[in-house]
Amino acid sequence: MVHLLHIDTSPRGERSHSRCMTREFVAQWQQVHPSDTVTYRDLGHQPVPYVDELWIAAAFTPPEQRTPEMWEAIRLSDQLVDEFLAADIYVIGVPMYNFSVPGVFKSYIDQIVRVGRTVIYGTDDSTHGFKPLVLGKKMFVIESRGAAEYHPGGQYEAMNHHDPYLVTVFGFIGITDITFIYVGNDVESISKARTHAIDLIAA
């Protein structure tokens, strides 16, 4: 039995292609793996706050030295990190906005990429000064991005800062097994995305 963390980041509701695809993906997954469990987080409709000065002070202060105000500033982040670490597989719907990820997802990433929780700096066995702590996980990113050709080899590949960013930031904390499922806004693209998702789940 494995545990999935299902995250949506689009502010749209039923008109969201990424929401539709993540919902179908998780439903199909549960049909194939009925004993697996799912936690859902809706960042598009319930965004998490930006990090602020007190958050930064708390994150970089040893726990035994934190003030009550620091503990309160970092409380939600600790909850998000605990939730993130409890999952074995991530299914995340992330539309492309202005060549990168939505601001609500960047805020979430800033909350969970934490020194001492998901990455360690300055250890003897670290690589380039850091050691990732989130290992053995699998991530599926369902990316909606209209009709433009941002895929590898596409006309606008060089403008795609969405995929490279996610590969970099999640690789930084140890998640290197990332599969992208691309969905556009036309019937053919949506159909291909559904087929791709079904094949991945079956595999």
pTM here is 0.91
Among 17-21, 64-68, 125-129, 194-198, which stretch is predicted with the lowest mean pLDDT? 125-129
Q: What DSSP element (H or E) covers 69?
A: helix 68-86
For residue 128, pLDDT beyond 90:
no
Instruction: Indicate the DSSP class of residue 65.
Output: G
For residue 191, pLDDT beyond 90:
no
Burial of 28 (0-12, 13-18, 19+ CB in 10 A): middle
What pLDDT score was predicted for residue 147? 65
Helices (H) and strands (E) in the chain, counts: 6, 7
How far from 112 is each of 17, 29, 149, 172, CA to CA, in Å? 26, 25, 31, 12
For residue 149, pLDDT beyond 60:
yes
**142 beta partners:** 93, 181
Burial 130-143, CB ≥16 within 10 A → b, else e: ebbebeebbbbbbb
Among 45-49, 101-105, 130-134, 181-185, which stretch is predicted with the lowest mean pLDDT? 181-185
Q: Are 143 and 94 in contact (CB under 8 A)?
A: yes
How far from 97 is each of 19, 105, 125, 190, CA to CA, in Å? 15, 11, 37, 19
Residues in the chain: 203
Amino acid at 32: V
The mean per-residue pLDDT over the stretch 172-182 comes to 95
Higher pLDDT, 22 or 186: 22
What pLDDT score was predicted for residue 124? 62
- Beta-carbon contacts of residue 144 (< 8 Å; ≥ 6 apart): 10, 16, 17, 18, 21, 93, 94, 95, 96, 183, 184, 185
Among 2-11, 43-52, 107-116, 157-166, which stretch is predicted with the lowest mean pLDDT? 157-166
For residue 127, pLDDT beyond 80:
no
CATH fold of 3-202 reads Rossmann fold (3.40.50)
